[in-house]
Amino acid sequence: MTKRLIPFILALVILFSFLLHTFAEESRSAETTYSTSVGDFRIEYTLNEKGEATITNGQSWSGRQMYVPEELDGHRVVAIGDYAFQYYSGSFYKADVEKVYIPASIKYIGANPFRNW
């Protein structure tokens, strides 16, 4: 009897582990995205568990200089996400932007944040 229960219990443990991992992945991928404006600069961001912001999308600025904000809605900006500024839609062409100012609070810059510039 005991020998027959071991494979059954093992199968239940594996199934439970798989389900737990699946639900954890779904909750991680369902991050809330926030949106705000800084002047004419439209920004979308997410928050980590410490309440720090990662810019995930930024668009619609004008002029030749872009300033990445140090704070968004009271949250310190610590990261620029992957491809965050690739969908530029400002009043100048991307090639017209000459300088990008990044504050010292930024600890991480993702892959190709200024792609297509």
3 lies in some domain = yes
Which positions ≥6 away from 88 have C-beta within 8 Å? Answer: 59, 94, 116, 117
9 lies in some domain = yes
Per-residue pLDDT reduced to its tens digit, 54-72: 999 887 566 677 788 999 9
Query: Looking at the structure, do residues 66 and 101 belong to the same domain, yes or no?
Result: yes
Nearest to 76 by CA among 96, 48, 36, 97: 48
With DSSP H G I counted as helix, E B as strand and the rest as coil, what are the percentages for the chain, rounded to 5? Answer: 25, 30, 45
- Distance separating alpha carbons of residues 69 and 103, to the nearest angstrom: 7
**Residue 94 belongs to domain spanning:** 34-109
Range from 13-27, 54-68, 75-89, 95-109 carrying the lowest mean pLDDT: 13-27
> What is the average per-residue pLDDT within 72-90?
84
Strands (E) located in 1-117: 34-38, 41-47, 53-59, 65-67, 71-72, 75-80, 99-101, 108-109
Torsion of CA 47, 53, 59, 62, to 10 degrees: 150
Query: Looking at the structure, do residues 25 and 58 belong to the same domain, yes or no?
Result: no
Q: Is the pTM of this model over 0.85?
A: no
**Residue 3: strand, helix, or coil:** helix
| The one-letter amino acid at 59 | Q
Q: In the chain, how many domains are there?
A: 2
